[in-house]
Amino acid sequence: QSDTAELAGRVAAYRAGYLAEDRRAVEAALDSGELLGVATTSALELGVDITGLDAVVIAGFPGTIASFWQQAGRAGRAGAGALVVLVARDDPLDTYLVHHPAALLRRPVEATVLDPTNPALLGPQLLCAAAELPLTDEEVRQFGGWEVMSGLADQGLVRRRAHGQWFVAPQVQPHDAVDLRGSGGGQVAIVEGETGRVLGTSDAARAPAALHPGAVHLHRGETYVVDELDLDSGVALVHAETPDWTTSSRSVTRIRVVEELQWRESGGVTAALARVEVTRQVTGFVRTHLQSGALLEVAELDLPAHTLPTRAVLYTAAPELLVAEGVPADRLAGSLHAAEHAAIGLLPLVAGCDRGDIGGVSTARHVDTDLPTVFVYDGSPGGAGFADRGHARLRHWLTATADAVEACECRTGCPSCVQSPKCGNGNTPLDKPGALTVLRTILATRAL
C-alpha cells in the first residue's frame, strides 16, 4: 500500500484551464523525473517539450490523424523505443477505426482546414497585426480584410490615417481578446468561495453546460460542486465536496437558416451548405449515482441562451419518401436524431476536426425548410471550414456513417453507433433501424 501511495503521488493531471503556474510546475516535474506520468487533455499535445516518456495510452481517437501521431510521439523521443496504446471508446468513429485500422495507420495526416476570410477569425488577427506595426491599405486588401477593417474602425478599435495606414486606437489591447481555443467567448474563473482561491478557468461558451449551479467539477483529482455561476462577472463559485453522484447538463438547441450557399435536389432529397445561427440554452441537469448510474434528480435551470453564427451541412427528405421506405411519422424524430448523432461521430473522418468542434440538430419539421431536416454545424464562430469540408465529401461521409451504424452489433443503438455523450436531450428519442433507413434513402439519390 505504501508503494501504491508513493506511485500515486508521482502521477499528475494536466489541462489548459489550470493556472499557468500550476501547468509550469507539472511540466518541470515531468521533465525532471519527479513525475513518472501525467493524465492530460490535448493540452500537452503541442507546444511543450517533453522527453523521457516510455509509453502513451490514448483514451479514444483524438479526432484527427495528425493529433493521434502527435500524441503518440510524446513517447520514444530522441530515437528511443516506445509503446503506444489506443483504447477505443464507445463512439461511432472509434468503432469504425477498429474495423478499418488502415484508415488510421496508413493514411496521411489531414490537410489543415482554415477559412482566413472568416470575420470572427480575421478581425482579431488584423487588430493584433496592426498593434505590432501599422497596416497599409495594400496589406489590408491582400488579407481580404477591407470590409472587416472598416467594421473595426466603425467600432472605434482602429483608425485610418490620411496617408493610408491603419493604427490601433489608444488603450486597445487586442492580444488579450484573441481566443486561441476558438470558443467564441471570454473566460470564466473557477473560484473556491470559502478561500477565494482561483482553481482555474473555463471557456465562457462552455461554462453553462459544465459550471452551472449544482454541477460537479473535478480539479487535479479533487471534487467540487458549483454554488453560483455569474457569466457577467466571469466567475463560478465552488466548494469542496466528495458526493457519491455526478451531473450532466440538459439543453435545447435551435437553428435558423440565414442563407443557403450551395444546394442540390434530387428524388425528394435536398442537400445544402448554409450560413446559420445556432441558439443553445442549458435548461437543467440530471444527477445520477456514481456507482449504480441510478437517476437521483432532474433539476431545472434558468440560464441565458448563447447564439453562434456559423455554417452547417443540412439535408432534408420528403416525409412521404421516408414513409414509403419504412419510417412512419411516429418514428421519424428518433430516426433523424440517431442519424444526426452518427453523422457527427463520423465527420472527423473527412473534415479533420474533433467531435467537440461540431454539433447537430434534427427535427421532423424545421421551421425554415418545412421538411424533416438534419443539420451538422461548425462549432466555431463564423465556421472554421469543417462544414464546408463535410459538404464537399458528403457522399463519402454519409456512406461511412451508414456503414458504421450497420456494422454495430447492438439492436437498438449504443454509444458505438447512434448514442452521443454530448446529447442535450439525454439520447432520446433514438431509432437505430430508422436512422439506417434514412441514411440509405439519402444516399440512393443524386442530391449528394
What per-residue confidence (pLDDT) applies to 1? 53
The pLDDT of residue 387: 95
Q: For residue 223, name the pLDDT band (cuts at 50, 70, 90).
A: very high
- Secondary structure (DSSP) of 46-99: SS-------EEEEES--SSHHHHHHHHTTSSGGG---EEEEE--SSHHHHHHHH
- The 8 Å CB, 24+ separation contacts for 292-301 are 296/245, 299/214, 301/212, 301/213
**Is pLDDT larger for residue 364 or for residue 44?**
364
pLDDT band at 183 (very low <50, low <70, confident <90, very high): low
Question: CA–CA separation, 208 vs 186, rounded Å?
Answer: 13
Cα distance between residue 353 and residue 62, in whole Å: 9
Tens of pLDDT, residues 375-394: 999 998 888 889 999 999 99
Residue with cell 470572427: 120
Helix axes 432-443, 394-407, angle to 10 degrees: 150
Res 184 pLDDT > 60 = no
Contacts of 241 (CB under 8 A, 6+ apart): 223, 224, 225
pTM above 0.85, yes or no: no
Q: Give the separation between CA 49 and CA 70, rounded to whole angstroms.
A: 12
Residue 2: the pLDDT is: 56
Element (H, E) at 7: helix 2-8
Q: For 347-383, how does the pLDDT look when each residue is reduced to its tens digit (9 = 90+)?
A: 988 887 878 789 999 999 999 999 999 999 999 888 8
Whether the predicted pLDDT of 115 surpasses 80: no
Task: Return d(Cα 230, Cα 224) in angstroms, integer.
Answer: 17
343 pLDDT higher than 80:
yes
Mean pLDDT in residue range 56-76: 90
Let me know: does 329 contact 321? Beta carbons within 8 Å: no
pLDDT band at 233 (very low <50, low <70, confident <90, very high): very high
What letter does residue 221 receive in the DSSP assignment? T
For the cut 80, the answer to whether the pLDDT of residue 48 exceeds it is no
Mean pLDDT computed over every residue of the chain: 91
